[in-house]
Amino acid sequence: MALCLSSYSALLRRKVLISPHVERAGLMEVSLRATGRRPAGARHFSKTWKQSQNQDQKQNSSRRSTFGSRLRFALRNTKVEWYPIPVGLGIGLLGLLQFYKAQRAERERAEREAAGEPFDFQNAPARPKHRLSGPWQVQIMSTLPLKAMSRLWGRFNEIELPYYFRVPGFKLYSWIFGVNLDEVAEPDLHTYPNLAAFFYRQLKPGVRPLDPDIRAIIAPSDGRILQFGLIERGEVEQVKGVTYSLDALLGSATPTHADHTKTFSDHQTEPTQKNEAKMLADEEFAEMNGISYTLPTLLAGEPGGARKRSASMDASTTSKVDAEEEVKADLARGDGTPWYAPKAAANHALYYVVIYLAPGDYHRFHSPVPWVVESRRHFAGELFSVSPYLQRHLPGLFTLNERVALLGRWRWGFFSYTPVGATNVGSIKVNFDAELRTNSLTTDTAADKAAAEAAARGEQYPGFVEATYRHASRTLGGHPLQRGEEMGGFQLGSSIVLVFEAPMGTRKSFDAGWEEGKREGGWNWTIEKGQRIKMGEKIGYVDIQN
């Protein structure tokens, strides 16, 4: 009892600023706990205190009853937390949005065609993207704006890096992608202002020696051998079981020159059996290649200087004197026939090799043989990745991507050199071309106009823009390149496709076949599929004595 009274007296001595009702209610509760009895007025004071609390709550609720005030209070006092979403989900969302946009554009185009509206050249839409078939990953990738992404990546690569960040940044990149910094021509990494300059780096002289065998074709760049072999039925194998047409890669017969095959037929109205067989061989060979380069009148010009007016531009630059002399000497060591003479289909064949450049490889490409580049065809296609995964799942990948097909001739006949663009690698540089611009920032409406005009004339649009190098060397009619000479380069990595003509060799006996090891002479490979190779190393050779 004494303890309860002392507690009660201590509460009386506290000075707390509260209302009389609350004070009385509190004192009453203390007295109840102390005595264990409930006085008659306690119920009244407790009820009065609860009523005052309810009135206060009603007044507060009336003051913040408007939605705007509550919203401002929530926005001002609520903590905002950001949560990352998976990268795959973001890419998938972008792909779905782009797919919806493409579907809407296709519906609008179909409606215009159904209504019979004329083609508007001024407001022509961009060239339509290719519809791909394959796994869902490939279909989503086909809807992404890969060219715009490549241009943004190019802008990012050209951003000047802070001076003290260059060395650790480039060393980290080299460690991730396996770049050998001991081979770099400029050892001071501070001299590279951005990633683009480091990607396009030069190597020290002598780190890529050329194979001494003059019969050999050397690797045009660093990389990995994806595929190689013999072209059969005009098809090139992309990966095992996946092929694409040679016409789709290099383009069909040149649309800017006269059809010399028909002209030859007109002059020989009643050909003899010998001439008829020769003419048939020429036509079959041109049909197999898709390019009528074997006819003398196509490469050397029409008799008397007459020539059909060409729509192709001239992108010639001055060639080197020593390169011209080397190429002329190499062409003179051929099989004894003029370089423009048709090659017998039974003795010659077309071969191909595909080399993939990884991000850490040396990105400049060189000439694999002494040869003459006569023309260039720029295919403004897409920029899909050229990774081995996509090559396995996307048929005709190299025929869809943006590429520059360099066409010409070497000692044994036709030779083509095709750098193929890829995602983030749209910029293809050719040192001796004054007009080439790849991955343009502008919409390709000129290609749409040319395609529409060709359709109106009942002709097939070739799908490329052509340029010639005939004025680079008046003697050779093209731009001569020495063996191992630098031709250009990529930004980051991509692929190079070589297609060339070479002798097949002869069978050891009448019963022997044409398989590897069953013939003598001719072209022989010295590489394996999946092999890592460096520029200047031998990929094959022609087994001859001269």
Give the residue numbers marked as catalytic.
222, 366, 494
3 state DSSP class of 313: strand
Contact 533, 221 (CB under 8 A): no
In 3D space, the residue among 358, 384, 425 whose CA is nearest the CA of residue 138 turns out to be 384
The amino acid occupying position 388 is P
Contact 28, 41 (CB under 8 A): yes
CB atoms under 10 Å from CB of 514, counted, come to 13
Contact 182, 174 (CB under 8 A): no
How far is 151 from 161, CA to CA, in rounded Å? 18
The amino acid occupying position 294 is T
In 3D space, the residue among 31, 70, 361, 371 whose CA is nearest the CA of residue 224 turns out to be 361
Crossing angle for the helix pair 136-143 and 87-115, to the nearest 10 degrees: 70
Contact 365, 397 (CB under 8 A): no
At 106, phi and psi to the nearest 5?
-65, -40
In 3D space, the residue among 370, 366, 445, 433 whose CA is nearest the CA of residue 404 turns out to be 433
- The full DSSP string for 174-233 is HHHHT--GGGBS---GGG--SHHHHHT--B-TTSSPPPS-TTEEEPSSSEEEEEEEE-BT
How far is 70 from 323, CA to CA, in rounded Å? 81
β-strand 522-525 against 495-503: which pairing, if any? unpaired
Can you read off the two tokens belonging to residue 74?
């929530």
Which 8-state DSSP code applies to residue 84? Answer: P
How far is 35 from 520, CA to CA, in rounded Å? 122
Contact 428, 419 (CB under 8 A): yes
In total, the chain counts a number of residues equal to: 546
Contact 454, 398 (CB under 8 A): no
In 3D space, the residue among 124, 81, 39, 115 whose CA is nearest the CA of residue 448 turns out to be 124
At 486, phi and psi to the nearest 5?
-70, 130
The amino acid occupying position 193 is P
3 state DSSP class of 260: helix
CB atoms under 10 Å from CB of 312, counted, come to 17
How far is 505 from 521, CA to CA, in rounded Å? 4
Which 8-state DSSP code applies to residue 116? Answer: T
Contact 487, 430 (CB under 8 A): yes
